[in-house]
Amino acid sequence: MAPAEAPVSGAAPKLLDQVRARIRVKHYSIRTEDQYVFWIKRFILFHGKRHPRDMGAVEVEAFLSDLAVTGGVAAATQNQALAALLFLYREVLQITLPWLDGVTRAKPSRRLPVVLTPTEVRAVLDRMDGMYGLMARLLYGTGMRLMEGVRLRVKDVDFGRNEILIRHGKGAKDRVTMLPAALAAPLQEHLARRRVVYEDDLRDGRAEVWLPDALAKKYPNAATEWGWQFVFCSGSHSTDPRSGRVRRHHVDEKLLQRAMKKAVTAAQLPKPATPHTLRHSFATHLLEGGHDIRTVQELLGHSDVSTTMIYTHVLNKGGRGVTSPLDRL
């Protein structure tokens, strides 16, 4: 058998490799990278493996319309696919597409969030213990998103000021939320156990964690410092898919999701509650307690108060907070 030909030196990188490289230059998350590559692949396959440079707005419109009409995807899913294709053309191929007027838009949903009552929250949390119980209580007690809690670093928990600094939240924004007094002692006990794991890793030369936005280059020693460690770490080391370095990453969010699902089932709740439901419940219960909606907006990290307003529709008085005439009889 003839030996395989060696790759041509200086050959242009493949399209998807160019996409990944550009995404990393823009400091997008690995989740965004995976999703963008997924949608670009689907787009290419949909059009018979034609190169995107040979296609344009017409083909993009046909693909997005098919997602809505044949695939029946949600509006958010269609918008994600559109964002991926716009990134491909603008950032990688350096082609500006005209406005896509011919796209059949997926119908946006107008669903209200699932919210648990305080009694239901207590029933779920009473059935969760250990690290996942602590994480669930932290989500409900602070209003953090699931991944904000999972990615929490040691240095961002301030016991002296009873607050938590949430970095790189949605939209790459930082914000401050409260540290519930009820969680101060349990969190300190958890960090004491976490410190033991860190010191073992440090002794073995494996205490490095992933740092965002090229901070590892700016602060070479930060990746192995205690303050940068994840509060909720994985039980084992794993290989970074981008750099190939072996690190102890944060805990897999799916494990918390499964633990919460078991607790909801054990509590016999009919509602499809998830860890994100705890954030919805946090906001609703603050409004029920008389807190100002602007304060709740800041705690949640919403850019526009209209996003926070959705919780006024699920308060404990029913539709729009109006008392039914039947209750007046």
- Catalytically active residues are 145, 170, 276, 279, 302, 311
DSSP 205-238: T------STTHHHHSTTGGGSGGGSBSSB-SS-E
Within 13 Å of residue 158, how many CA atoms lie on the same side as its CB?
11
Q: Are 168 and 303 in contact (CB under 8 A)?
A: no
Q: How many CB atoms lie within 10 A of CB 61?
A: 17
DSSP 56-115: -HHHHHHHHHHHHHTS---HHHHHHHHHHHHHIIIIIS--PPPP-TT--PPPPP-PPPP-
Say how far apart CA 64 and CA 105 lie, in whole Å: 8
Supply angle C-alpha 76, 80, 83, rounded to 5: 135
Query: At how many degrees (to 10) do helices 118-125 and 253-266 cross?
Result: 110
Q: Which H or E element spans position 175?
A: strand 175-178
Say how far apart CA 123 and CA 263 lie, in whole Å: 8
DSSP 240-302: -TTT--EE--BPPHHHHHHHHHHHHHHTT--S---HHHHHHHHHHHHHHTT--HHHHHHHHT-
For 91, residues 6+ apart whose C-beta sits below 8 A from its C-beta are 22, 26
First to last CA, the chain: 92
